[in-house]
Amino acid sequence: MWPTNETNMLVNTTSTPILTVAEPLGSKIFRLIVYTIIFLLAVTGNVSVLAVVYKIRELHSGYLIANLAVADLSVGILCIPFTVLYFELRYWPFGYALCKIIPTAQAMSVMASIGTLAAISLDRYRAIAYPYEPRITLYQARFIIVVVWLTATLVGLPFVAVMQLREDQDVFLCSEDGWPSETFKDIYNVLSFCLTYAIPLPTIAVFYTIIVMKLNKAARETSDSEGFRTAKAKGKVVKMLIVVVILYFLCFLPYHITYLWFEFGEGKQYKGFWILFSYCQVLVYANSAVNPVLYGFLSEQFRRGFARLVPCCRIWSKDYKVSRSMCSQSTYYDRKTVCVTDV
């Protein structure tokens, strides 16, 4: 995930001069340390989420959460190491094939992540707004996941065509030299911004606003203690998911601002743009590491599941026995119905 004229940020090959300033060594070391921490958290954290969902039968319902973990894990494995090395080395040492594969995987991962968050918000909205209607079935959950990844593939496919490996001053650079024209590139950038940020986040915000309003209303009106506890438990899950979305918004906002500033504004003229953008990208990748941490801190059911999977970590929860999901407790759910987001 770098500006489309990344090559031009490394060498001055355009008519517009690219101004740069030397980055202090301490800044580089600090960024590499942060990247290392993010990489370790992204890989171990998201693998833990997948292991808990897979191993603990009571949590087999967390299909969309697991899909979000897959998207975040792909960022950790496929994106962080390659991008960090490219940024620091200032040339592409990984060959022609990976020059096309890595940017494609990056675009797919981002789209899959926000697409899954949107699907989760819709599922939670249906569960709260229409509690007596069946939740989506396992087949429907799998269908949603397939649609999310197909959409992500469509977003990433253009990079297969436009990413080119070219030699410059005895080194190879990976850049978007394959666009038919600047107009096509600009159209894609705007559409990508809309699909991965401008459209889904406000939509998700609307869903969660309605959910919070309905939960507050239900909590005030219920006189049954069991109903109150159920509403409170659902509220905790919703709060966790809202935090996930807010962090996505905050982690990606600086990146999109600097990216659009570079493509459509005067970012090329700012001497410190390279350093600024590199730290904005740190925030983007940090998002792939924070979600499993949030599950550990905010989801009691996930903590219990992890404690059951790893006995030495049972201290995480007062009661490490995994309780049944809210779906299995509800008498009006069909046997084939799954609660796809409860963790």
Q: Can you tell me the distance from the alpha carbon of 213 to that of 316, in angstroms, rounded to the nearest whole number? A: 31
**What are 322's two structure tokens?**
């995994």
What pLDDT, on the 0 to 100 scale, is given for residue 336? 40
**Who wins on pLDDT, 315 or 88?**
88
Checking if the pLDDT of 12 tops 70, the result is no
Nearest CA to 292 out of 39, 47, 123, 35 is that of 47
- Residue 339 predicted with pLDDT over 50: no
All structural domains of the chain with their residue ranges = 25-311
pLDDT at residue 314 in the model: 55
130 and 143 Cβ atoms separated by less than 8 Å: no
**Average pLDDT value for residue range 71-78:** 92
The candidate with the shortest Cα–Cα distance to 165, out of 78, 103, 74, is 103
pLDDT beyond 80 at 98:
yes
The predicted-structure confidence for 287-302, as pLDDT tens digits, reads as follows 999 988 887 667 777 7
Q: Which of 156, 17, 12, 154 is nearest to 74 (CA)?
A: 156
Residues 151-173: tens digit of each pLDDT: 999 999 999 999 999 988 889 99
Q: How confident is the model at residue 231 (pLDDT cuts 50, 70, 90)?
A: low
Amino acid at 101: I
pTM for the structure as a whole: 0.81
Alpha-carbon distance of 35 to 86, in angstroms, equals 13
Under CATH, which number does the domain 25-311 receive? 1.20.1070.10
More confidently predicted of 44 and 329: 44
Q: Which of 86, 18, 106 minimizes the C-alpha distance to 278?
A: 86
Query: Binning pLDDT at 50, 70 and 90, where does residue 9 land?
Result: very low
